[in-house]
Amino acid sequence: MIITSQGFGHFKNGMNNQDFGIETPRMLLILDGCSGCKYPEVGTRLFSQLFSRKEEYDSAEKFEDNVKKVFDELIDNMKSLYSTQEELENEFIMDNLLFTIIGCFDTENEYIVKSFGDGYIITQNNRTNVSYLRLSYGKYPPYFAYKYCSVRPGFDYTNYQFKTFRFDKKVFPNVCIATDGILPIVKGTVDGIDSFIVTGNDAFVETSIRNNIQKFNDDVTIGMFTNKLNGGMIYEVFE
Amino acid sequence: MKFLNRDNKFKERTKKENELNKKKRWEQQEKDATETEIEEYLKELEEEYETPPVVSKTWTTPSKPGTAKVVTPGCSGIPKYDNISIYDDLSKIPRPKTIYKKTIYKKLNIVFVENSAEVYKEMDTIRKIVNAISTSELLCIISYGSTVTVGEIFDFSASESRPRLLLDSNSTSACLYDALVDMEALVSSVYMKVEEKEKEREIINEIEVIGIGTCKDNCSEIEEEIAINRFSKTTSKKNVKTKYYCLTEDGFMNAAKIGFRSIGSISQKY
């Protein structure tokens, strides 16, 4: 289940919700658009649509290749519409395609999280302690689209790769992902929401966020696996 | 609301009924005690005392100083008399002084820092974290290397200077699990316990644990599972927050396994 909510700060400033996400029974993918560029909400939605058309797009092994293919094809197709590389970078890539990418894959024995940019990984250990792991890279976080910006100085991200985190299900029975808009939840200003997030209780999470919407300045998106009960028992029933 | 009003009216009725019943009982007692018995008793008292005794149901303040004996009707109908002290000036009545101490709630910050060479390199960042702690709060430093050192609880109101944080630039050992157990013992001993002082009482009702290090262990005597179980007792308390600043993202897994709530990295390099 992907829960996404426009930030109150964005609402006041007339900005759209720049986050987006897609899900399958074994994959969660969330994207957080850069507030500093013009149309990140366009990029996140366009990317998601094209990505979901790829073969085995919810496979952890093919994820990075699929992301690269989508970016390659999209930028190649747009090249003809811009006269120079600089124009393409400044007016298409920088205005539309700057967003963080976080994917979480539910495999048999572990959860695999692949991230490129800022965000949060939410885990629950065997003692039901909920942890919020913050991925943060300063004021100017890396975006995958920077790999296609060769003309701009200081933007050499060609060697940057996805970061991979593996969580053994025996140690971490529940894992979720979120964009960095959940900071108020991490600080503890939204009471009682922790257990609802890790157990996939989307109705309560959505209600809690709506009831405290003024505390969320930035857009907030949380990806949770809801088609499970007590760490995967429902799979055993249907198998 | 109608039901609440009915309940309130019922309560009022029962109160009035109880008061009426009491009055009836007093009156009945007086009736039970025969007139002749009272007269005989009063005569005895007149012979004993020069001044006539006062018969009343309530305490009064006669103008004469000294003590007097007042006859009041007893429960079983037999009159009895009690001693009272009489004061001309009500302000001279000695009243016991009760001192009500003010309760002050305080927050304790526990800086849980790894005493190793790797952490020593990030000394500036650690100092910023420690200096960011408000002076209205309490501070305790627990450092763990080859051994665990639990510092005293430092109150900034009593001293202007801040406690020193000394780290070993050569140490490579870290007994994390031993330190977790000691930290849990400190939290249990201090959380919501009342400390009586002269004019006030202090209660620590909020604790924040700020961990800094690699979140690795290489020389603890206590086992990992025991330490994690003890740590989960700490986090189960309300108003106890836990944070861990790892040096790099390599420590994230261990910190999440232990159960720190908020986990971040000091290094922001991708």
Convert B8-34 to b/e letters by CB count within 10 Å (16 or more is b). Answer: eeeeeeeeeeeeeeeeeeeeebeeebe
- Beta strand extents in A148-219 (DSSP E only): 163-168, 174-178
pLDDT tens digits, one per residue of B4-20: 566 677 777 777 777 77
Give the pLDDT of residue B126. 85
Contacts of B269 (CB under 8 A, 6+ apart): A137
Give the pLDDT of residue B135. 77
Residue A133's pLDDT band (boundaries 50, 70, 90)? very high
Least confident of A55-69, A181-195, B67-81, B88-102: B67-81
Whether B149 contacts B143, CB under 8 Å: yes
Q: Is the pLDDT assigned to residue A213 strictly greater than 90?
A: yes
Is some CB atom of chain B closer than 8 A to the CB atom of A143?
no
Query: Which one is predicted more confidently, A212 or A154?
Result: A212
Least confident of A13-22, B90-99, B168-177: B90-99
Cα A55 to the center of its chain, rounded Å = 20
Nearest-neighbour CA in chain B from A153: distance (Å): 18
What number is the average pLDDT over the span B107-113?
93
Whether B86 contacts B64, CB under 8 Å: yes
Q: Using the structure block, give the residue that is written with the tokens 């979120």.
A: A178
Residue of A nearest to B248 (CA): A135
Contact A134 B265 (CB under 8 A): yes
Is some CB atom of chain B closer than 8 A to the CB atom of A234?
no
Residue of B nearest to A183 (CA): B262
Contact B259 A127 (CB under 8 A): yes
Query: Which one is predicted more confidently, A129 or B82?
Result: A129
Whether B130 contacts B165, CB under 8 Å: yes
Nearest CB partner across the interface for A137, out of B228, B260, B270: B270
Q: Is the pLDDT assigned to residue B23 strictly greater than 70?
A: yes
Nearest-neighbour CA in chain A from B24: distance (Å): 57
Give the pLDDT of residue A173. 94
Q: What tokens were used for A150?
A: 């060769």
Residues of B in contact with A131 (CB under 8 A): 255-256, 259-263
Least confident of A192-201, B108-117, B200-209: A192-201
CB atoms closer than 10 angstroms to residue A24: 13
Give the pLDDT of residue B91. 59
Q: DSSP label at A64? A: H
Q: What is the overall mean pLDDT for chain A?
A: 90
Contact B253 A138 (CB under 8 A): no
Paired with A29 in beta bridges are: A22, A103
Q: Is the pLDDT assigned to residue B62 strictly greater than 50?
A: no
Q: Is the pLDDT assigned to residue B80 strictly greater than 90?
A: no
Q: Is the pLDDT assigned to residue B52 strictly greater than 70?
A: no
Give the pLDDT of residue B229. 94
Complex ipTM value: 0.89
Residue B74's pLDDT band (boundaries 50, 70, 90)? low
* The model's pTM: 0.78
Residue of A nearest to B244 (CA): A133
Contact A131 B265 (CB under 8 A): no
Residues of A in contact with B255 (CB under 8 A): 131, 133
- pLDDT > 70: what percent of chain B? 69
pLDDT tens digits, one per residue of A147-178: 998 766 666 777 889 999 999 999 999 999 99
Least confident of A74-83, A151-160, B98-107, B116-125: A151-160
Main-chain phi, psi angles of A218, to 5 degrees: -100, 160
Alpha-carbon distance A221 to B189, whole Å? 40
Residue of B nearest to A143 (CA): B270
Alpha-carbon distance B50 to B69, whole Å? 12
Q: Is the pLDDT assigned to residue A25 strictly greater than 80?
A: yes
Q: Is the pLDDT assigned to residue B238 strictly greater than 60?
A: yes
H or E, element range at A65: helix A63-79
Residue of A nearest to B251 (CA): A133
Contact B249 A135 (CB under 8 A): yes
Alpha-carbon distance A137 to A160, whole Å? 13
What number is the average pLDDT over the span B27-38?
61
Contact B228 A127 (CB under 8 A): yes
